[in-house]
Amino acid sequence: MLDFTRALTVPSALRYLAWRAGGGRAAVPLRARCGARFEIRPNGLGRLGNNDYGVAYEIFSLDLYRVALEGVKRDEVRLVVDLGANVGLSALWFLNQFPACRVLAFEPHPSHAAQARRNWALGGVAERVELVEAGAGTRTRMAVLSDRGSGSTVAAEGDGLSIEIRDAFPHLTGRPIDLMKIDMEGGEYELLADPRFAGLDVRAIVMEWHARGEQGLAWCLQRLNALGYVAEPYATGPDNGMIWARRA
């Protein structure tokens, strides 16, 4: 918890500690040291469950996306694509780090998408974000989303939320993309394997990989190398981890 408060401004750290001490019964507005304004809701289970704290901790305390600042002139970044926007905190981080950029975000979970819009409004950046309320895929179809907060996964059938998967390539083709962030709980394989990915103008990729059968870190690194990227893993565990990839 103290690690998280260090990522907040002093007033927000004190507010967060008081909120936790009081049982965290209502959403608490916070501001990260990077300038991002957002809120954390009480934890819950089921359809309204969330992992706001866990997502905020990864982004603002662990600083998982800081690699995206390497060798970049921040004021020259114009477009960031966020595939798997969750509650909008990654987009907030990008928008605060890259003052001239816009974000194209995909998020299929209706509760996450609504909270993302709220966080962007709180952060004063809503006009800089285009949100597609669907999952990013290679063909448009309906699917089922398991309702496990930030770890929700997509399946062709089963129990869960009925959501739309949208063919992402018409949204991405023909646009210079400075940075693409991918966190799709296994959906990264469908996207990266599509032959159209090779035709995208994506200068850098930061992504989370998830072990799925024979697919995993090795598959992702091999595919990114084949696409012309120099890819390096970091923050890696046995079942998931991060990859930073830049054009060779």
List, for residues 171-223, the tens digit of each pLDDT value: 999 999 999 999 998 999 999 999 999 999 999 999 999 998 888 999 999 99
| pLDDT for the residue numbered 159 | 64
Residue 158 has pLDDT above 60, yes or no: no
Residue at 197 is within a domain: yes
Q: What is the pLDDT of residues 29-56, one digit of tens each?
A: 999 999 999 999 998 544 456 889 999 9
Residue 118 in domain: yes
HSE of 124 in the Cβ direction (CA atoms, 13 Å)? 6
- The pair of structure tokens assigned to 74 is 């921040």
pLDDT digits (tens, 9 = 90+) for 223-244: 999 999 999 999 999 999 999 9
86: domain range?
63-247
Pairing of strands 154-155, 141-145: antiparallel
- Residue 179 CA, chain-centre distance (Å), reads 12
Residue 128 belongs to some domain of the structure: yes
In this prediction, residues 152-169 reach a mean pLDDT of: 76
Is 112 a member of any domain?
yes
Q: Total domain count for the chain? A: 1
Q: How many residues does the chain have?
A: 248
Q: Is there a domain that residue 24 lies in?
A: no
Mean pLDDT of 149-165: 67
Residue 58 domain-assigned (yes or no): no
Mean pLDDT of the 127-154 span: 83
What share of the chain has pLDDT > 70, as a percent?
Answer: 92
Q: Domain for residue 36, yes or no? A: no
Mean pLDDT of the chain: 93
Residue 78: CATH number of its domain:
3.40.50.150
Q: What is the pLDDT of residues 78-131, one digit of tens each?
A: 999 999 999 999 999 999 999 999 999 999 999 999 999 999 999 999 999 999
Distance CA 156, CA 141 (A): 9
Q: What is the pLDDT of residue 46?
A: 44
Q: Does 49 reside within a domain?
A: no
- Is the pLDDT higher at 1 or at 91? 91
